[in-house]
Amino acid sequence: MVNFSLDGKVALVTGGAYGIGLAIAQALAEAGAKIVFNCSRQETVDRGLKAYKDLGIEAKGYLCDVTDEAAVKAMIADIEATIGTVDILVNNAGIIKRIPMEEMAVDDFRKVIDIDLVGPFICAKAVIPGMIKKGHGKIINICSMMSELGRETVSAYASAKGGLKMLTRNICSEYGEHNIQCNAIGPGYIATEQTAPLRELQPDGSRHPFDSFIISKTPAARWGVPEDLMGPAVFLASDASNFVNGHILYVDGGILAYIGKQPK
């Protein structure tokens, strides 16, 4: 019998107030998990708490910057004391800065790397001891197609997500013997607040050029939605994936498999 149940599990979703993080947390909650999330600003934490309440989900929110190791350690200690050992970590918190490389300040590059790559390292490092002690754990890193592909203006983001792909594989390699599975989800282009500027209609009512580009490059002929990530997240968080480790599951509508249409 395949077991997708998460009953009694404690799931921490970083940056889980909205968008992809909220959708994944909702899926984990519907499978039975207790939800904890964090954000780096109090107004975002409050927004997340309202979103979960509206969904009928009891969730605990923390004000915590994933790049602050002391703050992350304190958060994990509080979760363990008040709710239980973190069984599932979803490293979702991240940012993107779309700036041509020659125009990008080094500080901006470092900020993206710090949040998108160093943050997952800090959070995973903090939960792994509890997982080892418990004898089981699931870590899900939110990668990207930019873990595999490059594109103009996303040098920092692609560097961070490529690094996160390899961190995923290294956690698998280092801690698989402790029955810890570390995998990743690589979303394609998902319709969220973050990508909204790329989908805005032009003054003449036509599609944004990038929107048209993505549709033409995706066999599914559409942008993904956060709900498309719910099933994969439950799979990777559950016992159904106990022998899946170090894997990057791309949820991209087929874009990575597709060379594109031949020009007419």
**How many CB atoms within 10 Å of residue 31?**
19
**Band of the pLDDT at 109, cuts 50, 70, 90?**
very high
Nearest of 195, 202, 170 to residue 184 by alpha carbon: 170
Query: Residue holding tokens 């984990």?
Result: 28
Query: Residue holding tokens 């050029």?
Result: 209
Spatial neighbors of 204 by CB under 8 A, at least 6 apart, are none
Mean pLDDT in residue range 35-49: 98
Q: Which residues are catalytic?
A: 157
pLDDT tens by residue, 58-73: 999 999 999 999 999 9
Q: In whole angstroms, give the CA distance from residue 112 to residue 67.
A: 11
pLDDT at 126: 98
Whole-model pTM: value is 0.96
Percent of the chain with pLDDT over 90: 93
Q: In whole angstroms, give the CA distance from residue 242 to residue 181.
A: 7
Q: In whole angstroms, give the CA distance from residue 100 to residue 157.
A: 12
Average pLDDT, the chain: 96
**Band of the pLDDT at 260, cuts 50, 70, 90?**
confident
262 has pLDDT over 80: no
pLDDT tens by residue, 144-182: 999 999 999 999 999 999 999 999 999 999 999 999 999
pLDDT at 193: 86
pLDDT at 85: 98
Q: What are phi and psi of 148, to 5 degrees?
A: -120, -30
Mean pLDDT in residue range 90-101: 96
pLDDT at 1: 64
Task: Give yes or no for a contact between 184 and 120, defined as CB atoms under 8 angstroms apart.
Answer: no
